[in-house]
Amino acid sequence: MNTTESQHRRLLQPDGMHYAQNILDLIGDTPLVKLNRVTVGIDATVLVKVEYLNPGGSAKDRIAVRIIDAAEKAGLLKPGGTIVEPTSGNTGVGLALVAQQRGYRCVFVCPDKVGEDKINVLKAYGAEVVMTPTSVAPDSPESYYSVSDRLVEEIPGAFKPDQYSNPNGPASHYASTGPEIWADTAGKVTHFVAGVGTGGTITGTGRYLKEVSGGRVQVIGADPEGSVYSGGTGRPYLTEGVGEDMWPDAYDPSVPDEILSATDAESFEVTRRLAREEGLLLGGSSGLAVACALKKARTLTADDVVVVLLPDGGRGYLGKIFNDDWMKSYGFLPSACSPDEPGHEV
């Protein structure tokens, strides 16, 4: 069954009309789209899974529902409770959506490298946001991990989903993202590429695709250069939502067959090309995933079908990746220079 059929069936009401009972019913069943221009010279089919079409705008809506359902069942989250989570924004939006529907308060802890637009989105959904410095060690009392632990102790009835260790994160992708990709490619997918943050997406989706294909599907992690997954130390990089300076429990390193990395410059260049050439306005971690997928796809044949998961959309990055001045300030675009300046080429 393809995505459209399954979505149509899911929204069928007893009276024959089609509509969602509430916004949460629209989570998942995102479509695949073929890349046509950035793939020139590549024989393999490259399909992207557009997760910004989830109602909260990212793949994280999927984990939010499953984590809250499980917490309610386990008695960890009771009526009137508060959800406290360190999140770069997208998990916060997903959790805020679910919390709103079920009457919970949300307090999110965000590192200060996260774009202001993303923070304002969280506040718009009714969440409270606490900012912490990015350039401190994870065990520092100021780190976003430490601050959220302290808030959980201080707030009565607080529940910390902890996307970095909660098994329901990978489980949600095992139950939804993986089966959707398998069904929509009619089992023809040969490679799956996803960025690695908590590791939930690659672990859950990758595990499902490996199991259902009898180990045939190759799973490839995409990592910003400098992060631990590709052998770095966690050196600061600018691509948001991916890469780590520690190894989260949500990540099972036995799932990926390979980890590829890309620099911020490569990831942001691909992010901008996807908007201009494919009509896909995406975040930087999507550019990272596609940059790594293209590196892999160049080595593949016309028999291969590469599926790349695109975690979120580009509207939260308009002041950064899509802003020429911001890009130039990091040396990612050639800076405007006058014709008589040394080094200027015409």
Least gap, CB of 250 to ligand PMP (angstroms): 7
Which strands form 32-34's sheet, in the order they lie side by side?
32-34, 45-50, 305-310, 191-195, 218-224, 258-262
How many whole angstroms separate alpha carbon 10 and alpha carbon 307? Answer: 24
Catalytic residue among 60, 210, 296, 320: 60
Least gap, CB of 338 to ligand PMP (angstroms): 38
Q: Which residue in the shown chain puts its C-beta closest to ligand PMP?
A: 241
Name every residue whose Cβ is closer than 8 Å to that of residue 10 and which is 6 or more positions away in sequence: 25, 29
Say how many C-beta atoms besides its own lie within 10 A of residue 260's C-beta: 20
SS3 annotation, 152-192: HHHCCCEECCCCCCCCHHHHHHHHHHHHHHHHHCCCCCCEE
How many whole angstroms separate alpha carbon 40 and alpha carbon 130? Answer: 44
Least gap, CB of 62 to ligand PMP (angstroms): 9
How many whole angstroms separate alpha carbon 157 and alpha carbon 197? Answer: 28
Nearer to ligand PMP, 185 or 285 (CB): 285
Least gap, CB of 171 to ligand PMP (angstroms): 12
Q: What is the CA radius of gyration of the chain?
A: 20
Nearer to ligand PMP, 42 or 172 (CB): 172
Least gap, CB of 126 to ligand PMP (angstroms): 20
Q: Helix H segments across the chain?
A: 3-10, 60-73, 90-102, 116-124, 144-154, 168-172, 178-184, 200-212, 264-278, 284-297, 324-329
Binding stretches for ligand PMP (CB under 6 A) = 88, 90, 195-201, 240-242, 283, 285, 311-312
Which strands form 158-159's sheet, in the order they lie side by side?
128-132, 105-111, 82-86, 158-159
60 is catalytic: yes
Nearer to ligand PMP, 178 or 200 (CB): 200
Nearer to ligand PMP, 180 or 240 (CB): 240
Q: Are strands 258-262 and 105-111 parallel, antiparallel or unpaired?
A: unpaired
Nearer to ligand PMP, 184 or 312 (CB): 312
Q: Which residues are catalytic?
A: 60
